[in-house]
Structure 1
């Protein structure tokens, strides 16, 4: 039967399938009983014969070729043949389901479905004779290039290696091995048929190279010589080796076995230790080109640099003063970057050393927490932003942010920085509003919008308040107010106090002005952070004084317009100021000698406070305003508690986010993913993550699988 009859059958089959959209038995039966009178056996035999003839022709054409043309043609046929077999099998679907199945059921086991038949013919005719030859050709090309640098087609070699990684190709090769009655199939064709021989060729070639004997005096020459071999072989291997395999690592290890045995490595590292210890930049630069090409030595030298910087500088960072602490780190960074920043690997070593210095130094060891460094850096920023600087602001910001990047507990820095920002803005201690904004922008670039959102809202409130105060002063009175969002400013409300008549009228006036502009809003006055200016004149002197005082000081002094002496108990009754803060107010006024009392050191409720009619001062304007001091230890304790609570919320949010996405996850993997997500924000302890997972299980956000207790499931 001519090949045209096979073509006729296949064409009619595909046309009818396209028209009907189905594989109806009657349609296919009609094809087999067409005028050409094709029978199933004849069709099967002629398909088999045609395929064998086609592949034999390809084999002859491949055998007549040499070099890369043969490999390229072989690779192209391997790629295309598989898809062609599937198409042929689909077209012969009726033949497979009837004639082939009937013969197979009658114990004719040498009959196969058309797709499998085509694959078997390919394995027998093309794969079996050419597979070893093609592999040998590839390895020979690689060896030839290594010897004489002759031109080769890297892309073709990469494609052939890609075949060894293909699962379908590996399956076909194992089937062929099974037919040859081998003891067991190959689990990894790439490793057994390419990698092992490739690495052996590498070892054979480089052991034959004539390399000088290493001595302490010839280290530079030896490194220069072997670094050329490293550079050539690694660059060449990267051009065709698959990234999914570890062949490149094995190759580097093989070179290390040849050129860096224990004795050689010991001689080289002794020299490197001396250079690093002496901080000899010139010698290090001289050896850099050779060292950089040899991974094992460059990593070891980087570790030497890291340990040298940390061990020699840890004693320099032992002062709790924030300015000295930060300046010491800046000086250390400048010094060692100039000495050791020769290549990126050394920069990574310096980064690791600086990270350890900042988070694990004498201060953090003494306090028992790495968060102390974050606190000191925040205090340094606070001091810097309170001072006026003509130049160097941008440079100083960059130095601060360089240190900030190494801080582990960035959430602690955020808390302290935010708290100090509030104090600077409330008491108008910040020198430049633009500098405050610039610093926040730089922090946002590093940590993202969420990190600085509260601080940005605080600055925005100050801008809005300035406009509001200007409008109020323009229309009504000389009065400045800061209207703050209650959810952004960390103020705890104190009990109300009783204002003097003059103050109450002014406060009520602004409140009416604000409510008329913003209906539905409520103002809550924070008197403990307010201040003003008071004019003082006694009956015994004509000189007038202007006193800058807090609101608390103002209402206490206003009482002495009524009479010149009060008991402490009566003052508290008239003002309703908490006794703890009233004592601070009275002490500041007694210290300035505006008020007088026989008992100054330990103020009691029955003590009498008098106005000092003989008060005199050389200054016309006197600043008496002092922020009310709360218990610093309690404040710090409360801040640390809030940090711990915030961390729990952040961890729980990360757990929910991960579980929503995965729905079902192993317990250990969940812990690992949470740590990976939040590690850039603060140092996470595994027990805390586990505690948060248990809390979410108790609150029915998660549950353990009944039959697999280490699997967690998200409850929507």
Structure 2
């Protein structure tokens, strides 16, 4: 039963056409389609009409004449497609098949009529379009596209029955070039109109873009509407229900990128010829930002990557050699902002920054070497602080540059590290060997951590220690630093001259974090020994009180140091301590051995110190207090019995050899506590020493326990000798460890793996590794095999 239409009186709805006649039906439909195509924008909107979801059309109350006409078109399409009769059609015998085939054939006729209509309509539009050019053509195209697509959506709904049945059946059967009614409109627009005028449209679009690039104001929304049209026309030939960007890419992206390339090639060549490199970089930055903004304003997002690649090539890559040549000039003149600009540009192209990193590394290395050369006029007198500050100044300067100009990029940081490693380990001061940098760094740390060494605040001290670790991480011979640092720490702890236990602990923690537990194990054990010694002294004093032995004892403190953890050796001279000291030491020895049976105490007299008070001077009412070493104390206490002694008397009484006695006496003579006759520069046999009753000093507490330069040089030489011996053992143990795991190895492979294992502590020489291999062969830890191979002997 055909659908019913209920209308209010007064409507002038034309009567429905003859359902059996395609020509009569199409004439009726064409009238309605013409009305949609030509008059739809005169206030008509699809929302004014609700089409039925079934075959029945609902009652439309107070509908205007045009709506009534469109409803009639919908009904006519339905009636025609479901008609069981058709002109020239012979019906089959079965009624159901007859209806099916009839609908099929009549639907095809109606589809062809609509296609022909659209073809004629678009040819007419094409003739009109050819009368326009430039922006007028764009305005015409946009206006007609909007009218056409709105009408297409409306007609699509009017022909819904055709879409649901005939079109769907044809598509399900795999028929090509059959589309739903809306898609048919787009296909026809593309084939008849768009393909014919696309070149002229694109020329007009490109001229608009060029105007904008030249600084003129344009109606960029026109371009956006054109692009939206191209995107909509991207129909998938294999699946009409899907769309692609093929049409957009072929007709817009391809010519747009070509025009962009051509425009910027010409502009950049002209600009570079008349302006500086820095000005060109500013111009390139501006152009790149404009193109990114252009994508945001009206271009399709799909073009972003291609446009970026095109601009990077033309504006940056094509001029990269010019930019890189300017980089050294910017470095030399500290043009940080311009370096940041160059970094941001060159990072956009593949491998754009590699040459900059190479130049940066060489520049930092040269700057570091120059800074060290300025302060290293006399390496022997070079102050550790001056040297370390020179290294830190260069690192801080260029680390800031990496952070601000190069965005803390890891590769630039690596270049900075490589450069710093070079000028820290191989500079003017290190000509005699790379041991000098770690030695001076350890000495500077010692100055900082000594009591009254710098007078810095705790927070400032912590920050300085952090800076020291910055230099430390670049040092290759970390074992040298460890040796010097451990000796200096030992002296600070033994002489109670450390400024802060917290600062000492913090420094050890930093070293442990950088090099591991093994590196700082002995340092931590030193602190433990000092704590144990403190408890031991408290117990010793309590013992003396209980045993009533404290009536004539000294105010003494003893430090018991584990032999394997402290970098200290027994004294190189015999020594006969003063009776007062000897008696107190004997009491402590008995107490200690009573608590720890079987342990042996070795007295490190060269590290012992004390204070003696004077009451002999004529000029001072307040007695002086002399801070002295154990050797100096023994010498001065001899003058309690008589005010004059010969060199031989002193040597006999103290039992000191000349290497220890002469420096100790020399400091006392220099301070004028004693006078020497006959006068001369050297202390030695044949000299007589007399107590100076006219001794004067501005200080009440006078420090006589001052290290001599010769002693310091001797200690440095001993430390360096110890380092060399330890390195040999470390190399040998590494070789044995490797061979024990591998059993057999080529000689060259063993050398390479040994370097890899040891380089965290120091950078070993190949010649030293070969010597150690020979030693292990002689000791029969290793054996030679065929083909330059070594084997492990269990």
TM-score (norm 1): 0.62
Which residue number in structure 1 is paired with residue 228 of structure 2?
Answer: none
Cα RMSD (Å): 3.6
Residue aligned with 1:597, SS: strand
Q: Deviations over 1:84-111 (max 9, x none)?
A: xxxxxxxxxxxxxxxxxxxxxxxxxxxx
2:352 alignment partner, SS class? helix
8 Å contact kept, 1:317–1:325: yes
Q: Does 1:339 align with 2:401?
A: yes
What is the CA–CA distance in structure 1 between the aligned matches of 2:427 and 2:484, rounded to whole Å? 20
Given candidates 456, 469, 480, the residue that maps to 1:389 is 456
Q: Does 1:349 align with 2:415?
A: yes
**Which structure is larger by alpha-carbon Rg, 1 or 2?**
2
| 2:261 and 2:314 in contact (8 A); partners too | no
Name 1:137's counterpart in structure 2: none
Residue in 1 aligned with 2:775?
Answer: 695
1:317-466, aligned counterparts within 5 Å?
317-318=372-373, 319=375, 320-341=382-403, 342-343=406-407, 344=409, 345-364=411-430, 367-386=431-450, 387=453, 388-390=455-457, 391-466=459-534
Unaligned runs of 5+ residues in structure 1 are 1-63, 65-143, 151-205, 228-254
The 5 A counterparts of 1:188-207 are none
Instruction: Check whether the contact 2:526–2:565 (CA below 8 A) recurs between aligned residues.
Output: yes
- 3-state SS of 1:622 partner: strand
Match of 1:486 among 556, 560, 563: 563
**Partner Cα distance (1:655, 1:461) in 2:** 33
**Match for residue 325 of structure 2?**
270
Equivalent-residue separation in structure 2 for 1:397 and 1:433 (angstroms): 14
Deviations 1:176-208 (A, max 9, x none): xxxxxxxxxxxxxxxxxxxxxxxxxxxxxx999
The structure 2 residue matched to 1:314, chosen from 369, 372, 379, is: 369
Rate the CA distance shift 1:226–1:680 in 2: closer, same or farther, 3 A. Answer: farther
Is the Cα contact below 8 Å between 1:473 and 1:480 reproduced in 2?
Answer: no
Matched-pair contact (CA < 8 Å) for 1:500–1:558: yes
Partner of 1:583: 662
Q: Pick the aligned partner of 2:628 from 525, 537, 549.
A: 549
Change (3 A) 1:262 1:548: closer
- Kindly state the Cα deviation for residue 569 of structure 1 after the two structures are TM-superposed: 0.9
Counterpart pick for 1:509 among 584, 587, 606 = 587
> CA distance change for structure 1 residues 327 and 147 in 2, over 3 Å: closer, same or farther?
farther
Superposition deviation, residue 629 in structure 1: 6.4
Q: CA deviation at 1:149?
A: 12
| 2:320–2:346 CA contact under 8 A, matched in 1 | no
2:703 pairs with 1:641: no
Q: 1:335 to 1:626 in 2, by over 3 A?
A: closer
- SS of residue paired to 1:288: helix
Q: How far is the alpha carbon of 1:668 from its aligned partner?
A: 1.4
Residues 323, 342 of structure 2: 8 Å contact kept: no
2:352 corresponds in structure 1 to 297
Q: Take 1:633 and 1:652, find their aligned partners in 2: how far apart are those partners? A: 29
Change in Cα spacing, 1:225 to 1:665, as seen in structure 2 (3 Å) is farther
Q: Structure 1 residues 590, 147: closer, same or farther in 2, change over 3 A?
A: farther
The CA deviation string for residues 410-429 of structure 1, in whole angstroms up to 9 with x for no partner, is 11111111122122222222
C-alpha contact 1:224 1:290 (8 A) present in aligned 2:
no
Give the equivalent residue in structure 2 for 1:534: 612
Query: Post-superposition shift, 1:293?
Result: 4.0
Check conservation: 1:590, 1:600, Cα contact below 8 A.
no
Q: 1: distance between equivalents of 2:345 and 2:286?
A: 5
Contact 1:306 1:349 in 2 (8 A): yes
**2:774 matches 1:667:** no
Q: CA deviation at 1:219?
A: 6.1
Q: TM-score, normalised by structure 2?
A: 0.56
Q: Deviations over 1:86-145 (max 9, x none)?
A: xxxxxxxxxxxxxxxxxxxxxxxxxxxxxxxxxxxxxxxxxxxxxxxxxxxxxxxxxx99
Q: Residue 604 of structure 1: SS of its match in structure 2?
A: coil
Matched, 1:569 2:657: no
Secondary structure, aligned partner of 1:637: helix
Per the alignment, do residues 221 and 148 of structure 1 end up closer, same or farther by CA in structure 2, a change over 3 Å counting?
A: farther
Q: Supply the distance in 1 between the matched residues of 2:447 and 2:260 (Cα, whole angstroms).
A: 64
Per the TM alignment, residue 361 of structure 1 is displaced from its structure 2 partner at its CA by: 2.2
Following superposition, the deviation at residue 265 of structure 1 comes to 4.5
SS of residue paired to 1:703: strand
**Distance in 2, Cα, partners of 1:149 & 1:415:** 73
